[in-house]
Amino acid sequence: MPEGQKEGAAGAKPKSARAKSADGAGKSRYDFVEGDRYAPAPESSDHVSLRDSYQLFIGGEWVRAPRRIETINPATGEVLAEVGEAGPRMVDRAVAAARQAYEKTWSEMPGRERGKYLFRLARLIQERAREFAVVETMDGGKPIRESRDIDLPLVAAHFFYYAGWADKLDYAFPGRRARPLGVVGQVIPWNFPLLMAAWKLAPALACGNTVVLKPAETTPLTALKLAELIEEAGFPPGVVNVITGAGKTGQNLVRHPDVDKVAFTGSTAVGKLIQKDLAGTGRRFTLELGGKAANIIFDDAPVNQAVEGIVNGIFFNQGHVCCAGSRLFVQEGIADTVVRKLKRRMETLVLGDPLDKNTDVGAINSQEQLERIRVLVDSGREEGARCWQSGQKLPRKGFWFKPTIFTECAQSHGIVQKEIFGPVLAIQTFRTPEEAVEKANNTPYGLSGGVWTDKGSKIFKITSQIRAGVLWANTFNKFDPASPFGGYKESGIGREGGLQGLAPYVELR
Ligand code: TAP
């Protein structure tokens, strides 16, 4: 069936979907609500304080970088603010500030005192959660429901969790003495900007390290606002430094000879470059990289719940999720039913204004990412897989991509093997559990996966055979700060979260 065309009953919209916007006048200046089925429920951005221009946060001061870059709202194309682009001198300065703070204060401070700073920061994040959620949505394009209900609560939870470990490191590693490593260079991606900052900062600081953090070029704002909170919480100058910029800034940071440890989250391609950069230096690193998770649905699974799990697995955050369930394996006997129900459910997804509380699918993060998705989707069509897209209208401005599925996929197709990092699902079928496991493991990645079945024994058997760091059973995309996260194979090295997330930030004696 051609792209965009709805199939018979499966494509029919449910009743609510046909209802017009209640007031008929809810058109925003970006035409987000055209064709929508609910009255607009926009989250207010009046309470948000955003500066026009941000400097670099180095040594507890705001330092001007001569070169500037703009960050835009991907849902509208509007410029939100300009930020500094840190060149080599600024990277040097940030690393020197972190070194000084490490030697003079932070590493010498008792864990219980470090914990107090982290608890204070966690509380400040909670107080300002609404504002931060709005900024995250404006800068990144993700639906406000996600940034408000998932990102921000998890960010605060991470700081609370690791604050609790700061004075208990002796219990984390019984019989050993945990010493911090020194200055940590941290580079993070754009898909969960604040959450990735929390995953990186909280354990590093709890263990007594100081940090230079580089957020992604397209989503620097919440990291800079976090720096404002770090200032407000009274952290000693230089304990946390935030430098903005593009890939070159990240490269200068990870190559810096006075950085003791590198923590990177991003693509496998850049992860490999970093590994090469650090080879032979003796410096430590952890890499949290890409994924191509298998979501496996057995014929004894509760189908309706599984369909919700599939939708959550691939359309959460527009599929900009390293652990997204981007490969679906359905047991042959229920494949037609699952695909039919999935298509019907996809038609009900609300795509549009990310600040609207009804929105399920927001904007693609950048023009560049949109192009990447288009290229891979075109390659799927060319290779012979069958493409189907739901019928939502796309807003005229900004970057958007319709929820998309491919059926009739072969294991060799690029859309099955490569990380698309967009709202695109490749569907395959299987007959036996062995075939499901074989196909699920046939990928260079090994970050996450999901299994749907009524049988507990099958869950244990299958999950123990899938080579992935995180596996969910009868659910998907669930996160907790106490639970370790990380990959096998080309999905990375090291773990973040939980007790395991402390280990990469300490030397054990
Ligand atoms: P990348 O292009 O790899 O960028 C990640 C970060 O590295 C950005 O801050 C980027 O800067 C910077 N960077 C680029 N080139 C660099 C270099 N040579 N040296 C040092 N830093 C460099 O990834 P992305 O497109 O932002 O993020 C998407 C990827 O992240 C996906 O593959 C996704 O699976 C992965 N991811 C993994 C996880 C976990 S926990 N495994 C979580 C989230 C995302 P600029 O962006 O400013 O250029």
Residue 470 lies in a domain: yes
CA distance 320 to 317: 6
Number of domains comprising the chain: 2
Same domain, 145 and 180: yes
Q: Are 90 and 62 in contact (CB under 8 A)?
A: no
Residue 450, pLDDT score: 98
CA distance 440 to 436: 6
Residue 464, pLDDT score: 97
Nearest CA, atom 16, ligand 1: 247
CA distance 101 to 316: 39
* Catalytic residue from among 136, 146, 217, 288: 288
Q: How far is the CA of 401 from the centre of ligand 1 (A)?
A: 21
> Which residues form the domain of 278?
56-70+79-289+491-508
Q: How far is the CA of 494 from the centre of ligand 1 (A)?
A: 16
Q: How far is the CA of 289 from the centre of ligand 1 (A)?
A: 8
Same domain, 272 and 397: no
Instruction: Give ligand 1 pocket residues (Cβ under 6 A).
Output: 187-191, 214, 216-217, 246-247, 250-251, 254, 265-267, 270, 273-274, 288-291, 322, 419, 421, 447, 485, 487, 492
Residue 91, pLDDT score: 98
Q: How far is the CA of 196 from the centre of ligand 1 (A)?
A: 11
**Entry field: residues in the chain:** 509
Q: Are 54 and 70 in contact (CB under 8 A)?
A: no
Residue 51 lies in a domain: no
Which of these, 320, 356, 314, lies nearest to 140 by C-alpha position? 320
Q: How far is the CA of 459 from the centre of ligand 1 (A)?
A: 32
Nearest CA, atom 43, ligand 1: 322
CATH number of residue 209's parent domain: 3.40.605.10
Q: Are 445 and 407 in contact (CB under 8 A)?
A: no
Same domain, 426 and 312: yes
Residue 32, pLDDT score: 57
CA distance 254 to 392: 42
For the CA of 288, the closest atom of ligand 1 is 41
Residue 358 lies in a domain: yes
Residue 189, pLDDT score: 98
Nearest CA, atom 46, ligand 1: 216
Same domain, 298 and 285: no
Other Cβ atoms within 10 Å of 175 Cβ, number:
6
Tokens of 151: 């990102």
Same domain, 466 and 495: no
CA distance 429 to 441: 15
Name the residue of 222, 262, 265 whose CB sits within 8 Å of the most ligand 1 atoms, as the mutation to test its pocket: 265
Ranges of the chain whose pLDDT falls below 70:
1-36
Residue 3, pLDDT score: 35
Q: How far is the CA of 4 from the centre of ligand 1 (A)?
A: 32
Residue 4, pLDDT score: 35
Same domain, 232 and 367: no
323 catalytic per annotation: no
Residue 5, pLDDT score: 36
Name the residue of 187, 219, 318, 483 whose CB sits within 8 Å of the most ligand 1 atoms, as the mutation to test its pocket: 187
As beta bridge partners, residue 83 has: 54, 69
For the CA of 192, the closest atom of ligand 1 is 43
Determine if the pTM surpasses 0.85: yes
Q: How far is the CA of 253 from the centre of ligand 1 (A)?
A: 14
- One-letter amino acid at 412 equals S
For the CA of 199, the closest atom of ligand 1 is 40
For the CA of 291, the closest atom of ligand 1 is 34
Q: 3-state DSSP helix/strand/coil percent for the chain, to nearest 5? A: 40, 15, 40
CATH number of residue 366's parent domain: 3.40.309.10
Helix (H) or strand (E) holding 425: strand 424-430
* Catalytic residue from among 207, 217, 322, 347: 322
Residue 40 lies in a domain: no
Nearest CA, atom 12, ligand 1: 247
What angle separates helix 152-165 from helix 111-127, to the nearest 10 degrees?
A: 170
Same domain, 197 and 306: no
322 catalytic per annotation: yes
What is the DSSP code (8-state) at residue 460? H
Residue 36, pLDDT score: 53
Residue 35, pLDDT score: 52
Q: Are 449 and 407 in contact (CB under 8 A)?
A: no
Same domain, 208 and 351: no
Same domain, 253 and 325: no
Q: List Cα–Cα distances, 237 to 62, 185, 242, 256, in angstroms.
A: 11, 16, 12, 20
